[in-house]
Amino acid sequence: MNVLLIAYRPPDPRGKGDAKIACHVSETLVSDGHSVLLAVPSPVSAVRKSLHVVSAMVSRQPLQVGVTRSRALRDEVKRILRTMDIDLVVAVHARMAHYVPRELRSRSIAFLYDATALGYATYAGRLPYWMDPVFRLERRRMITLERIIVEQFGRVAVLAQPDLRHLRSLSPLAAPIIRVPYSVDLAYFSRTIRRPRKDPPLFVFVGRLGYLPNQDAVRQLVTRVWPAIRARWPGARMRVVGARPEKNLRLLLARQGVELAADVDDVRNELEEATALMVPMRMGTGVQTKVLEAMAAGVPVICSAFANGGLNATPTEHLLIAERPEEYVMHAERLIEDAAFSEDLVDRARTWVSTQYGSEVFKASFMSLCHDLLRTPLATSASHGLIESPGLRAG
């Protein structure tokens, strides 16, 4: 099978979310004996991006579609489809879906991995006043885009049940929307060298710091949770690990006496001495990969129920749930004072991640999705008013 993979970023197991998904998809297809042709956009200048944003505003498209627009990518997709026999097209993220020609979408997969509009709904009331109307508008436009995707693509893939329910609610014409479990790089994170616990304790947050939900979580952590932690353990340390922290966030961490490990080459080094990963998320959607990766690395996790919403781990069995600062302190005390409980929690979490989010689970689910789509009679796909291109084989 020849597969055209359209992604905004090249596949990268250590990259951003869409780069990781592109990597998982590509590796899965290649390991199953299929050929993958990759189409990604070339870098675009800041001036051109600005022009694209203006164009998106005028045309009522989502801004993220405008800012990532690439004529070169569209031409490359057309060239590949014109010169190659392509059995299946996979577009990673909603902003790449429009590069799939309309007549091919009934035999294509939109791997959204999360529902952007659902994530934007959690931003309401938690952004600076000047940003709030922008994201409200962006959410409305993303709902429109997501509705078009679920009506026109043969299959839609997401990582978490909340996103699946949201997308199914958008239209009675929605194509099958499938949850494909995220693939954790168990071999990589299991090689984290866990050091013997030291006094005072060290608590860690990991996440890309240019992402608004992570910025909000860090602020919750250092302004609400950290003072309670420090009151209980005056010598405790807090470390925030992530890429591209903005100036205001750097200043906040410095004022609060929180360590910053920015743009690190290997996040595992920052987890070696961690007493626990703390994740007070309340914005965003999808799967919190930071939680899964910490579990695979053998680090206990204390997080909000919201952070666990897309994972469905069992509280106290695989991780610890906390909402108020005193609950973070209570769980941290138990981890520190009851070594047997901490070790059992880590062992159960690692086993759970390997069985629920291992690469073989992802592979089985994704390949089943591909084969199911290719077996679907064209009449089913045609119910959305689409036709098959002569260049796309039935498979």
> Tokens standing for 281?
């998320």
Read off the pTM. Answer: 0.92
Residue 238's pLDDT is what? 98
From CA 178, how far away is CA 161, in angstroms rounded?
9
Same structural domain, 76 and 144: yes
From CA 388, how far away is CA 260, in angstroms rounded?
52
Q: Which region, left, alpha or beta, applies to residue 197 given φ > 0 means left and ψ of -120 to 50 means alpha?
A: beta
Cα–Cα distance list, 111 to 200, 226, 278, 308 (Å): 44, 37, 29, 21
> For residue 26, with 0-12 CB atoms within 10 Å meaning exposed, 13-18 middle and 19 or more buried, which class applies?
buried
**Residue whose C-alpha is closest to residue 154's, from 185, 108, 200:** 108
Same structural domain, 40 and 154: yes
- What are 11-67's pLDDT values in tens digits? 999 999 999 999 999 999 999 999 999 999 988 788 888 888 888 888 889 998 988
Same structural domain, 202 and 342: yes
> Tokens standing for 290?
């930071």
**Residue whose C-alpha is closest to residue 116's, from 4, 262, 283, 257:** 283
> Tokens standing for 85?
């026999």
Residue 388's pLDDT is what? 32
From CA 251, how far away is CA 242, in angstroms rounded?
15
In which order are the strands placed within the sheet that holds 320-321? Answer: 259-262, 237-242, 202-206, 276-279, 301-303, 320-321
Same structural domain, 171 and 88: yes
Q: What's the total number of domains in the chain?
A: 2
Same structural domain, 28 and 15: yes
Residue 384's pLDDT is what? 36
Provide the 8-state DSSP code for 38.
E
Q: Domain containing 214: what range?
A: 186-356
Same structural domain, 372 and 311: no
From CA 359, how far away is CA 24, in angstroms rounded?
8
Q: Which residues of the chain have pLDDT under 50?
A: 379-395
Is 236:198 a contact under the CB 8 Å cutoff? no
Structural domain contains residue 394: no
Same structural domain, 178 and 261: no
- The gap from C-alpha 50 to its chain's centroid, in whole angstroms, comes to 26
**Residue whose C-alpha is closest to residue 181's, from 368, 362, 363, 352:** 362
**HSE toward the beta carbon, residue 270, CA cutoff 13 A:** 24
From CA 28, how far away is CA 113, in angstroms rounded?
16
Q: State phi, psi for 92 to the nearest 5 degrees.
A: -95, 115
Same structural domain, 177 and 151: yes
Residue 98's pLDDT is what? 95
From CA 373, how far away is CA 108, in angstroms rounded?
8
**Could you count the other beta carbons within 10 Å of the beta carbon of residue 323?**
13
Q: What is the CATH number of the domain that holds 349?
A: 3.40.50.2000
